[in-house]
Structure 1
Amino acid sequence: MDVEYLLRATRSARTSLDLDAPVDRGDIRECLRIGLQAANGSNQQSWRWLVIFDPALREKIAALYRQAYLRRVGGQLVANLLPADTPGRRLMSSTEWLVENMAKVPTLVIPCYEPYLPRIEGDESFYRATLYGSIFPAVWNFQLALHTRGYGTCVTTLHLHHENTVRELLGIPASYVQGCLLPIGRLRHGTRFQPASRRPLSEVVALDRWDGPAL
């Protein structure tokens, strides 16, 4: 796969996932090998990745995910309440498809990371940046590797509303932070993503100062 296409067209995959196609554990293993080549803080590699195939565990995590989503949107699915054929309707329909089908997605992956620096009063921004800067480069590498092998996924975080419940369910030690939840499946036959529409650099990039000129 062309590198520039890969970088520009690796999209969040939800409705394009084939829920009936098997996921090869060897593929997941190789994609993780690639993902874990990513840079991380002081090269500590203080991560542990949970790959969840067990249907009963996926069902329980999916139920927590659904509870969290409904709590955030007021207790009911909302996609069908939005005007038809609008970007908002399409986005919410995709989001809610995953809410309703999370348990059927063949593989869930939760990357966890153990902070390796001591906390210092007033260092919250530094602490968060170091922590998540040590896990998300590997997450993105993993997603790119999956795309080259015909798999799709997306970064989700709603399960963190029930972080402690998931921690107990999966036996995650209290010292580890869960970075996100990645639902993984093969892409439906014929799926080909295109580069997304993005705001021009002139609107989002400035030279030297926040109010500086465009690049």
Structure 2
Amino acid sequence: MDIEYLLTATRSARKTLDLDAPVDHADIRECLRIGLQAANGSNQQAWRWLVVSDPALRTEIAELYRKSYLLRVGGELFADKMPAGTPATRLMSSTEWLVVNMAKVPLLVIPCYEPYLPRIDGDESFHLATLYGSIFPPVWNFELALHTRGYGTCITTLHLQYESEVRQLLGIPATYTQGCLLPVGRLRAGHTFSPAIRRPVEEVVALDRWDGPAL
């Protein structure tokens, strides 16, 4: 796969996941091996990745995910009530498809990380940047590796509304932070992604200062 295409056309996969296609654990292990080559804070590699395949566990996590979503949208799914054909409707339809079908996705991957630096007063921004700066580089590497092998995923965080319940369910130690949840499955046969429409670089990049000229 062409590198520029891979970097620009690796998209969030929801409806494009094939819920019935088998997932090869050897493929996922190799994608994780590639993912874990990513940079991380002081090369501590203080991570633990949980690959959840047990149907009962996936069902429980999916129910917590659904509860979290409904908590944020007023208690009911609403994509079908939105105007048809708009970008917002397509996005919400995809989002709610995952809410409904999360338990059927073959694997749920949860990257966890244990902060290794002592906390000091006023270090919240530093702490969070160090923590998530050690989680999301390998997450993105993992996504890219999945794409090259015909799999897809998307970064989700709704389950973190019930982080303690998921922690107890999976036996995650209290010292570890759950970074996100990645629903992983094969992409539907024949499906390909295209680069997304993004705002031009000159609109979002400034030189030297916030109000500086475009680069």
Instruction: Give the shorter-chain TM-score range.
Output: over 0.9
Aligned match of 2:109: 109
Q: Which residue is 1:36 aligned to?
A: 36
Q: Report the secondary structure of 1:56's partner residue.
A: helix
Distance 1:199 1:4 in 2: 18
1:46 aligned residue:
46
* 3-state SS of paired residue (1:13): coil
State yes or no: 1:147 paired with 2:147: yes
2:194 is aligned with 1:198: no
Q: TM-score, normalised by structure 1?
A: 1.00
Residue of structure 1 in register with 2:70 after alignment? 70
3-state SS of 1:111 partner: strand
Number of positions where the alignment pairs a residue of Structure 1 with one of Structure 2: 215
**C-alpha displacement of 1:81:** 1.5
1:134 counterpart residue number = 134
Q: Which amino acid aligns with 1:165?
A: E
Aligned identity (percent) is: 79
| Secondary structure at the counterpart of residue 212 of structure 1 | coil
- Secondary structure of the corresponding residue to residue 194 of structure 1: coil
State the distance in 2 between where 1:104 and 1:135 align. 25
| Alignment map for 1:180-199 (pairs within 5 Å) | 180-199=180-199
RMSD: 0.4
Shift of 1:82: 1.1
Task: Return the TM-score normalized by structure 2.
Answer: 1.00
CA deviations over 1:78-135 (Å, ceiling 9, x no partner):
1012111000100000000000000000000000000000011000000000000001
Contiguous gaps of at least 5 residues in structure 2: none
4+ residue runs of structure 1 moved beyond 3 angstroms?
Answer: none
Structure 2: distance between partners of 1:3 and 1:82: 37
Residue identity matched to 2:74 = G
- Gapped regions of structure 1 (runs ≥ 5): none
